[in-house]
Structure 1
Amino acid sequence: MRIGCHGLVWTGDYDAAGIRRAVAQTREAGFDLIEFPLMDPATFDATAARAALDEHGLDATGSLGLSAPTDISSEDPARVRAGEELLNRAVDVLAELGAEHLCGVIYSAMQKYLEPATARGIANSQEVIGRVAGRAAEAGISVSVEVTNRYESNVLNTARQAREFVAGLEPSVGVHLDTYHMNIEEPSMFAPVLETADQLRYVHIGESHRGYLGTGSVDFAGFFKALHQVGYDGPIVFESFSSAVVSPTLTSALGIWRNLWEDGAELGAHANTFIRGQLAANASLRHH
């Protein structure tokens, strides 16, 4: 099981210098992997990233959220096509990095919708995700769809919806759970893990207010117990956002209207210790 950190904890600039800084700080905070934000895979410097990963002995994963013009859950064929091209470019970048996971809000735009998803739109999304995952699998990359809250997508808001969405696409497509979103939409932190036990490939750890772990209302004890019970062994990645770091565009998309931290280094080191502590506590239960 590898413990990681989302790259936006360190910097919002993903030029070569930003990539190098983010990788170095991820290693310094004690993590095993960095999750790169691939909002624009066409401009991502995979060569610089690969060199930095090799230098610091880190693994990488990649995530992104689609936008309205690349929304594969749309009924507009041009948008669906543009989204598929974007996801394929992201797969190519991750293949260059030797990464094993693509995840995030890759099945719809990451935005507040004003009406429910349509059956045709969901079918479009499933078809594209199926094709992208097939292509990714050839490069040894696993694709997982992130269950997100109602203000960031109208397609997958619960683990149950995700389980049904990927049912016909397994085993090439998995489920990605995020405690921040679960805390908004799910009845508990335990049941969704059991519900997706066979499909769960990727986990985001975020507090209810996206600040320091343990200072909000997320039931981490229940969540980590559930991971332990199902024998989850995929990546566990800390995610938190502050406009001290991320770009104005993403600040708007994520609704970062107040900052719960300024110092990513301190926040990241705390998260690494917190997550490893939860895992160690649950591992101790094996012997009793």
Structure 2
Amino acid sequence: MNNLLGVHALVWVGDTGPESVSTAIAQTRAAGFGLLEFSLHDAVSFDLDRTRAELATAGLAAAASRGLSPDADVSSEDPHVVRRGEELLHESLRVTAGFGGTWLTGALYSAFGHARGPLSEAGRRNIVSVLRDLAKDAEELGVTLGLEVCNRYETNVVNTARDALRLADDIGADNVRIHLDTYHMNIEEDDLVRPVHDVGDRLGYVHVGENHRGYLGSGHLDFTGFFHALADIGYDGPVTFESFSSSVIAPGLSTDLAIWRNLWDDGFDLASHARDFLDRGLQAARRR
């Protein structure tokens, strides 16, 4: 069992213009990762053909992640807002497949940010309908969808692993998988072990981030327990390092993510440390 180790592009650059993408690809390869995850907050800037060719030359797999905006929220009860969200998701799928990505994940089910109230039944029905159709198109393109479990301050739809399982059950598509993120789990789950066991073989994508989103091991998260839980279920999917700092600014997204502090200055040092941390931790868990 070997996991493909990935890194989020915001460790390197804040946009997806051609030169920034080239930098992110080169740095990802140099740091020893096998996958690069792009945020689609700046998708309009992508040169899809160039990105696909450069990823292939570097031998890197690719993923994409995104959330939705209030005016394009598929959990809304407003049919016009839902329609805009549906169009945005299908455009995101086109971009992901266009640069050769095999994963489209994130908060695909709602607007990103603090909700004004709980999810309504009508809103939930809209999510299921939209994502069911998106999954059909994604299957034709060879893309797997991830339902990222995010904290209560970023969504009112999926806050725990069990929430994600219920939504995936309702969607009912084999290419819709659960995406766990240690940063969010630290806020919402009782521990970092039970959710992994709950999800089991339906786990498809993993984000590893420290409780403050800085250097791995510098916070209080139980990564040993988490890595052992991944080994327990035989997880062999991607494990992607995610970290944010005010040293790399993504217009709009950095504000949405509340990146107010400079947690690191040297992205390469940060990523190289994370690559070694992940490799050692995962290997040790497999050997026990």
State the TM-score, normalizing by the size of structure 1: 0.96
Residue identity opposite 2:103 in structure 1: H
Contact 2:29–2:58 (CA under 8 A) maintained in structure 1? yes
Q: Secondary structure at the match of 1:196?
A: helix
% identical equivalent positions: 48
Residue identity opposite 2:144 in structure 1: S
Contact 2:201–2:235 (CA under 8 A) maintained in structure 1? no
- Find the partner of 2:108 among 106, 109, 124: 106
Q: Residues 73-152 of structure 1 correspond to what in structure 2 (within 5 A)? A: 73-152=75-154
Q: How far 1:227 moved relative to its partner?
A: 0.5
- Find the partner of 1:280 among 249, 262, 283: 283
Q: How far 1:238 moved relative to its partner?
A: 0.3
Question: 2:155 aligns to what?
Answer: 153
C-alpha distance in 2, partners of 1:170/1:14? 30
Contact 1:261–1:267 (CA under 8 A) maintained in structure 2? yes
Q: Residues 176-187 of structure 1 correspond to what in structure 2 (within 5 A)? A: 176-187=179-190
**Count of residues paired in the alignment:** 285
Q: Secondary structure at the match of 1:108?
A: strand
C-alpha distance in 2, partners of 1:248/1:93? 20
- Find the partner of 1:11 among 10, 13, 26: 13
Render the CA deviation track for 1:198-242: whole Å, top value 9, x for unaligned.
321100000000000001111101111110000111110000011
Q: Residues 131-280 of structure 1 correspond to what in structure 2 (within 5 A)? A: 131-168=133-170, 169-280=172-283
C-alpha distance in 2, partners of 1:233/1:170? 20
**Does the C-alpha gap of structure 1 residues 88 and 40 become closer, same or farther in structure 2, counting only changes over 3 Å?**
farther
C-alpha distance in 2, partners of 1:90/1:71? 14
State the TM-score, normalizing by the size of structure 2: 0.96
C-alpha distance in 1, partners of 2:43/2:140? 19
Question: 1:20 aligns to what?
Answer: 22
Q: Secondary structure at the match of 1:184?
A: helix
Indicate yes or no: 2:58 matched with 1:52: no
Render the CA deviation track for 1:74-133: whole Å, top value 9, x for unaligned.
111111111111111111122222321110011101111121111111111111111111
Of residues 267-276 and 255-264 in structure 1, the stretch that sits farther from structure 2 once superposed is 255-264
C-alpha distance in 2, partners of 1:126/1:243? 35
Residue identity opposite 1:14 in structure 2: T
Indicate yes or no: 2:33 matched with 1:31: yes
**Does the C-alpha gap of structure 1 residues 257 and 40 become closer, same or farther in structure 2, counting only changes over 3 Å?**
closer
C-alpha distance in 2, partners of 1:170/1:5? 27
Unaligned runs of 5+ in 1: none
C-alpha distance in 2, partners of 1:120/1:43? 34
Contact 2:18–2:45 (CA under 8 A) maintained in structure 1? no
C-alpha distance in 2, partners of 1:118/1:39? 26
C-alpha distance in 2, partners of 1:251/1:39? 10
C-alpha distance in 1, partners of 2:75/2:46? 25
Contact 1:142–1:174 (CA under 8 A) maintained in structure 2? yes
Contact 1:42–1:89 (CA under 8 A) maintained in structure 2? no
C-alpha distance in 2, partners of 1:244/1:46? 26
Residue identity opposite 2:166 in structure 1: E
Q: Secondary structure at the match of 1:149?
A: coil
